[in-house]
Structure 1
Amino acid sequence: MWRRLAQILGLLLCIMGWGLVGCTLAMDHWRVAQLGGQAGSSVVVTAWYWSDLWKDCYEDSTALVNCVDFGVLWTVKSYIQAVRGLLIIGLCLGLIGTALAFFGMECTHIGGDQRSNDTVLTTASAFHLLACVSDVAGYCLYINRVVTAFLHSKADPSKLSYEIGPPLYLGLVGSFLIFLGCMIHCATAYRVNRTQRGKEEEKDVLRGKKHTHRRSERSNGSQSSSTYKVASVVIV
């Protein structure tokens, strides 16, 4: 019973993390920069510059937003293309891993025997782990660019000082949930295989003891028969 509950929990964590990573692709404010907002006049003017994977935007204090979509694929910056590709690859691998995990779970009764289900579940965990690595690599690449630009802006005050936005934190949390789910699946498969091996070894030991006991009984029986024959010969 505990194994089924653990597998269901792992699948829910993987699906939740996969959904969070997918949501970050469509979210705004991947990086945010703020200008103004300081007192000193009768009107406080504030402006925000923010970007995501698809556009750059400007928003003023009147909530007026002007956005410029990125052009065709080959005109976008290389690191943004890399982040898009890594996240999409992670989503595809996570989808395959979710399907395999659904077929490899014990409660679905779709796969074959228990050993084949454990193999399918371990394969699903491998796909989820690769998806997690791909997602984390994409987020870390974007964070590295934002931090580099932030440090350059400190050296040059004329440049905008961007900060990390909420989608990056949400994506990292989703990646951690995927990692936690695949670890739970691996733990359930490994523990069951270990207990099965222990039971098989115990059975082998018991079989060996039975064989040795039978052999000893046969040897004792043969010895008693031989002594009986010798005794009968002596009496005759």
Structure 2
Amino acid sequence: MSSMSQEILAFILTISGWVLVSSTLPTDYWQVSSNDGSVITTSTFWSNLWKVCVTDSTGVSSCRDFPSMLALDGYIQACRGLMIAAVCLGFFGSIFALIGMKCTKVGGTDKNKAKIACLSGVNFILCGLCSLSSCSLYAHRITTNFFDPLFLDQKYELGAALFIGWGGSILCILGGSVFCFSIADSFSKSHSQENYIYKGAARQSHISSYPRGQAVSVNQRPPPANSNSSRVQHFDKNVYV
């Protein structure tokens, strides 16, 4: 697969992952109340990074935003920061990808475009790691409370937003890695071509140092000065007269 095809594939993966990660941030169902051990459920509790809601049996939802950011639990604040950082990194990574791809006409020389594309891959990898850490931290808190026998409050299960965030994170990491590998391949190919051109130029300059019509190979050595073959006698045209 050529480097341009790899860049197009990486761009599709990273943009898809970034869209999923961005859609995870405002999604409602980060955690949903568990029905384990309940015979009759009249309401469903669910929450995300910004609010907590309850839905009754008729489908009517009542939500309440978190009153204070500083009074929130530490893991929610950490998840907010990581998700916002992931969205920002993906945004800048997409811009760098558009500039650094070979199929676009902006970015300058191929060497500069390769550096910009590599920077885009690093941004997308960091985007995926931030989103993956945020979703995993939130899921760890849910599972810890669920399996804790001493936790007597409402227990929750993993919501759909966490699975969407995990999927987007994996796509961002895979796409960013493909970006970096495609740039590494292009650098290796350009380096080998430069070595070939340099060696060819050096050999051409060595051959051209001989007079015209007397060019010899690089490994050929001139005969010794005292050899018999070099003693050629030249006679004048009137020698036999």
Whether the aligned pair in 2 keeps the contact of 1:136 and 1:175 (CA below 8 Å) is: yes
Tell me, what secondary structure is at the counterpart of 1:75?
coil
Q: Please state how far the C-alpha of 1:221 moved relative to its aligned partner.
A: 6.8
Gaps of 5+ in 2: 234-241
Letter in 1 for 2:83: L
How far residue 2 of structure 1 moved from its aligned partner, in angstroms, is 3.8
Count of aligned residue pairs for this structure pair: 226
2: CA distance, partners of 1:45 / 1:168: 24
Letter in 2 for 1:12: I
Counterpart of 1:23 in structure 2 is 23
Query: 2:162 is matched with which residue?
Result: 168
Q: Aligned-residue CA RMSD in angstroms?
A: 2.9
CA distance in 2: counterparts of 1:64 and 1:56, whole angstroms: 14
CA contact (8 A) 2:34 2:157 kept: no
Whether 1:76 and 2:72 are equivalent positions in the alignment is yes
Q: Which moved more, 1:199-208 or 1:214-223?
A: 214-223
1:33 — aligned with what?
Answer: 33
5 Å matches for 1:83-162? 83-152=79-148, 155-156=149-150, 158-162=152-156
Give the match's secondary structure for 2:28. Answer: coil
1:41 corresponds to which residue? Answer: none
Deviation of the 1:31 alpha carbon = 0.8
Taking only the aligned residue pairs, the percentage that are identical comes to 29
CA distance in 1, matches of 2:93, 2:131: 14
Residue 177 of structure 1: which of 171, 192, 195 is its match?
171
Paired amino acid for 1:92:
C
Q: Residues 34 and 46 of structure 1 are in contact (CA less than 8 Å); yes or no, is this contact kept in structure 2?
A: no
Task: Tell me if structure 2 keeps the 8 A contact 1:7–1:105.
Answer: yes
- Match of 1:61? 57
- Sort the Cα spacing of 1:223 and 1:208 in 2 relative to 1 into closer, same or farther, 3 A: farther
Could you say which structure has the higher helix fraction?
1
- The structural deviation recorded for 1:179 is 1.1
Counterpart of 2:96 in 1: which secondary structure?
A: helix
Report the alpha carbon displacement of residue 5 of structure 1 after superposing the two structures with TM. 3.1
Q: Deviations over 1:76-123 (max 9, x none)?
A: 222111101111011111111111111111111101111111111001
Give, in whole Å, the separation in 1 of the partners of 2:224 and 2:95: 65
Pair 1:192–1:156, CA change in 2 (3 A): same
Q: Aligned in 2, Cα 1:215/1:177: closer, same or farther, shift over 3 Å?
A: same
Give the counterpart letter for 2:197 in structure 1. K
Question: 1:214: how far off?
Answer: 5.1
Rg: which structure is higher?
2
**Given that residues 79 and 141 in structure 1 are in contact (C-alpha distance below 8 angstroms), is that contact kept between their aligned partners in structure 2?**
yes
Alignment of structure 1 residues 39-54 onto 2, 5 Å: 44-54=40-50
Which of 197, 206, 217 is 2:200 aligned to?
A: 206
- 8 Å Cα contact 1:90/1:130 also seen in 2: yes
CA distance in 1, matches of 2:198, 2:228: 34
Contact 1:37 / 1:46 at 8 angstroms: preserved in 2? Answer: no
CA distance in 2, matches of 1:150, 1:222: 92
Q: Does 1:189 align with 2:178?
A: no
Instruction: Work out the CA distance in 1 between the residues paired with 2:80 and 2:41.
Output: 34
